[in-house]
């Protein structure tokens, strides 16, 4: 059994989500092995990276009018359950409220960065 993260640790993970790099594994069987290793590791940052990678991959495939990979859908559900249940417990929200909370925080973070970039452009 792994240790439950503190509220501060979870908030830090959420704030750093936009900066997390994506996983890049072309081979499907290698991807499945890596995804399973991440789930089994319990490393929440790695799970965040996994969720972000799969989410953006699925979004890209949808834009190309392609179906998502079945393996990605399976691991996305598993990773979300693992992460969202813990986040919900610690943040005192329902599991179905975790994703909207994360998206809201990421969007807020993006707007702040965009404003900083805009000011830099105009102040040069």
pLDDT digit string (tens) for 32-42? 999 999 999 98
The alpha carbon of residue 103 and the mean position of all alpha carbons in its chain are separated, in whole angstroms, by 10
pLDDT recorded at residue 117: 38
Cβ atoms within 10 A of the Cβ of 31, count? 19
Cα 117 to Cα 84: distance, rounded to the nearest angstrom: 32
pLDDT of residue 119 exceeding 50: no
Q: How many CA atoms lie within 13 A of 100 on its CB side?
A: 5
Question: So where are the chain's domains?
Answer: 7-122
Res 15: pLDDT: 84
Nearest to 38, CA basis, from 48, 27, 28, 26? 48
- How far apart CA 75 and CA 89 sit, in angstroms, is 21
38 within 8 A of 46, measured Cβ to Cβ: yes
pTM metric for this prediction: 0.79
pLDDT at 8: 92
Task: Tell me which of 3.40.50.800, 1.20.58.1290, 3.20.20.80, 3.30.43.10 is the CATH number of domain 7-122.
Answer: 1.20.58.1290
- Name which of 87, 20, 86 is nearest 48 in CA terms: 20
């Amino acid at each position: 059994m792994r240790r439950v993260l503190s509220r501060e640790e979870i908030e830090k993970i959420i704030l750093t989500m936009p900066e997390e790099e994506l996983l890049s594994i072309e081979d499907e069987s290698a991807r499945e092995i890596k995804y399973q290793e991440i789930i089994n590791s319990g490393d929440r940052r790695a799970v965040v990276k996994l969720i972000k990678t799969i989410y953006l991959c699925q979004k890209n495939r949808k834009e190309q009018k392609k179906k998502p990979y079945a393996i990605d859908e399976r691991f996305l559900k598993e990773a979300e359950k693992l992460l969202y249940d813990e986040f919900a417990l610690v943040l005192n929200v329902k599991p179905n409220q975790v994703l909207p909370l994360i998206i809201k925080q990421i969007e807020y973070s993006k707007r702040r960065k965009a404003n900083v970039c805009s000011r830099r452009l105009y102040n040069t």
